[in-house]
Each structure stands twice: as structure tokens, then as C-alpha cells.
């Protein structure tokens, strides 16, 4: 065998080993942060009910994400259609790949949202959703009220932790995208 063939196979083996090592590192340790305990709101607080459309909620969510990152490049963009879609980018081996993640929204009893991943697209690659969420969690600086949980394949939106002036809090009451009906409650604490 000539030395060029040997060099080729050694180089191909090194590239394959490096690629396998990166995949193993990305896939390992997908531990998820536990969800915050459900908080029961004070019944004496004042509640303002707001009805929003998909377009309204999308605008509100993107505005709060933009405010949370304080002038840095926007890590994710939310689009609300028949499901909740997050758009982001991921750099792998100096290639920037578009990441599109589809989620089904679930309203928890405490008014916070769980976005359960239904599908995902990352360029032409076929990567498990938990791995993509882990890379998203580790490489993209999200607002503190967006908690990525790769093992559960979900994104937790802690609406109660979104900073609003006047100690106001937001809770989701209904999130029915099929009927374009999103009902939010604004909690105004009693003094």
C-alpha cells in the first residue's frame, strides 16, 4: 500500500473520531433543570383578563425576549401559527445552520407555559430533539424566564418571572391556537 493511501485512511479516521467525539459531547449530560414549584396567587389580588390573538402574543413575546437580551443579537425569534415555532441559528464546524423548532403549548395550573417539542429542523441534519435543545441551552443566552429542558424535550416559559413594572404578573389562562384564542391574566397585587 502506498503512503498516500495510508495517509488518507489515517486522516479519514481522525475526522470520523473527531466528529464522533463532538456528537458524544453534545449528547451527554442532558440533565434538565427542575421546574419551579407552582405558585398559588393570592385570591385578594386584582385580576385583569386580556384576550390576545396569535399575532399579539407573538409580538409581546418577541418584545420581552428583545428586552431581556439588552441589545445583544436576538437568540431566538418566536412565531405563533398552528403551533409555537422558535427560530434560531447554530454554528457547527464553522457552518451556521438554521434551527426551526415546533412546540405545542400547554398551560400549567399556575398559569405558566410548557412548550412541548413536536418537531424540529436543523439544516439537512437528522439530530435528536433532546440534543438540539441541549445545544440550544448551552450555546444560546436565553432570558432567565425561558428554561430549556432537553431530557423532557420541552421549553418552560415562566410567565410569573417576566419583569413587569409595578409588581404585576402575567398568567396564561387559555392558549387555544386552533381558535386563535389566547387569554392572559394580569395580576395586580393588592396593597
Structural domain of 24: 1-30
The pLDDT score that the predictor gives to residue 51 is 92
**Residue 21 counted as domain residue:** yes
What total of structural domains would you count in the chain?
2
User: How many other C-beta atoms are found inside a 10 Å radius of the C-beta of residue 150?
Assistant: 25
**Residue 38 counted as domain residue:** no
In the predicted model, what is the mean pLDDT of residues 126-152? 81
The pLDDT score that the predictor gives to residue 33 is 63
Separation of alpha carbons 166 and 144, rounded Å = 19
The pLDDT score that the predictor gives to residue 40 is 60
52-84 burial, b if ≥16 CB within 10 A, otherwise e? bebeebbebbbebbeebbeeeeebbebbbeebb
**Single pTM value for the model:** 0.74
The pLDDT score that the predictor gives to residue 22 is 61
**Residue 84 counted as domain residue:** yes
Question: Do 172 and 113 contact (CB within 8 A), yes or no?
Answer: yes
**Residue 149 counted as domain residue:** yes
Least confident of 84-88, 116-120, 134-138: 134-138
**Residue 37 counted as domain residue:** no
Amino acid at each position: 500500500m502506498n503512503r498516500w493511501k495510508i495517509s488518507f485512511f489515517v486522516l479519514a479516521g481522525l475526522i470520523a473520531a473527531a466528529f464522533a467525539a463532538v456528537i458524544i459531547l453534545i449528547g451527554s449530560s442532558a440533565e434538565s433543570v427542575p421546574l419551579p414549584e407552582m405558585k398559588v396567587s393570592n385570591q385578594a389580588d386584582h385580576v385583569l383578563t386580556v384576550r390576545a390573538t396569535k399575532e399579539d402574543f407573538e409580538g409581546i413575546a418577541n418584545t420581552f425576549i428583545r428586552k431581556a437580551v439588552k441589545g445583544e443579537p436576538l437568540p431566538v425569534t418566536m412565531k405563533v401559527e398552528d403551533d409555537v415555532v422558535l427560530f434560531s441559528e447554530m454554528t457547527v464546524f464553522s457552518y451556521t445552520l438554521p434551527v426551526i423548532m415546533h412546540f405545542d403549548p400547554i398551560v400549567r395550573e399556575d398559569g405558566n407555559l410548557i412548550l412541548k417539542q413536536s418537531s424540529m429542523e436543523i439544516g439537512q441534519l437528522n439530530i435528536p430533539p433532546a440534543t438540539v435543545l441541549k445545544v440550544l441551552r448551552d450555546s444560546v443566552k436565553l432570558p432567565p424566564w425561558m428554561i430549556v429542558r432537553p431530557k423532557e424535550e420541552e421549553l418552560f416559559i415562566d410567565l410569573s418571572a417576566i419583569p413587569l413594572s409595578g409588581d404585576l404578573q402575567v398568567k396564561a389562562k387559555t392558549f387555544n391556537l386552533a381558535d386563535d384564542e389566547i387569554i392572559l391574566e394580569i395580576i395586580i397585587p393588592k396593597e
